[in-house]
Amino acid sequence: MSDCPLNIPAGDHTAYLRYALSLAQKSPPKPSNYRVGAVMVNAATNEVLSTGYTLELPGNTHAEQCCFEKLAQKHSMGDGGNLDAVLPDKVALYTTMEPCSFRLSGNLPCVDRILKIGAAKIRTVYVGVYEPEKFVSDNSGRQKLQDAGISYVHIPGLEEEILEVATAGHEK
């Protein structure tokens, strides 16, 4: 599924976040969503396993959710119930914004989707910005991931660009 338009060197976390940001720009601007992009990478081979962005799939879908659902569809697994069975042992997830820990829509939060796959597969989540408190305050996702043994790494330097894209369509 490697649809990465660039040949990103292994470990170039900023480049992967820039790629995720390019995906976020495909998301339609709405006042009720952040435009987020996500990229799932096999950390051992540097292969892009799946990508996603907010509202890419039908419903009120988040970027990580789309990333997982597309990979599940590729492996004929319905909504992604058993992704750990098809994932390599060292997966890195890059997401422009901290994965949500609560969904106002009632959908499963992205952190819970990550935890469902588990630390045996998703070893590290690289994040461009922490979730602003506009929709949900006190995002506990970072702590939940760390408690489960998943490394949470903030990659600085793109915050301004990410927030500009994320909040397009919001009232300023």
**CA-based nearest residue to 159, from 93, 92, 96:** 96
**CA-based nearest residue to 152, from 92, 100, 110, 109:** 92
What amino acid is encoded at 95 in this protein?
T
Beta strand 122-129 pairing with 91-97: parallel
- Residues annotated catalytic, as ranges: 64
| Contact predicate 112/81, CB 8 Å | no
